[in-house]
Structure 1
């Protein structure tokens, strides 16, 4: 086995991209907030309803599932504006 150090491949010349331009000092978040979790849960219920309706070939229930998905988006937007999103005024985020 070689004892040479292993390094990441360098980007192609002239691409304008460099691995050194990435700033990892600030955490990215990941949407860990009550608004995000509520939105995801409501939208998962909507997707489940739509999936069951698809198997049953029921258009009405399928549309109801789509409406539940849209309601989930609206709930997330309203909760974020109310201060329950990442960095919101109602939360004291201390990280993960």
Structure 2
């Protein structure tokens, strides 16, 4: 039932996108806890940055090789 997986997509591009996404959610959560709409929206604004950074790094060759 279980199959061996040679690659789970562990790349610099993927981990960078995940790291920025985690930071964005952390900033957003802190904004909610301290009741600061500005901090919350900064966290929200960082989410697309994660996708853009991941895509740019993948295009630069740091993503999964086909």
- TM-score by length of structure 2 reads 0.83
Q: Which runs of 4+ in 1 moved over 3 A?
A: none
What displacement does 1:67 show?
A: 1.1
Match of 1:30, SS?
A: coil
Measured in 1, the distance between the counterparts of 2:18 and 2:9 equals 10
**Deviation of the 1:29 alpha carbon:** 2.4
Name the SS for the 2:10 alignment partner: coil
Give the length in aligned residue pairs: 65
Greater fraction helix:
2
User: Which consecutive unaligned segments of at least 5 residues does structure 2 have?
Assistant: none
Which structure has the higher relative contact order (CA within 8 Å, separation 6+)? 2
CA distance in 2, matches of 1:28, 1:72: 25
1:41-79 Cα distance to aligned partner (Å, 9 max, x none): 111111110010011121111110011111111100111
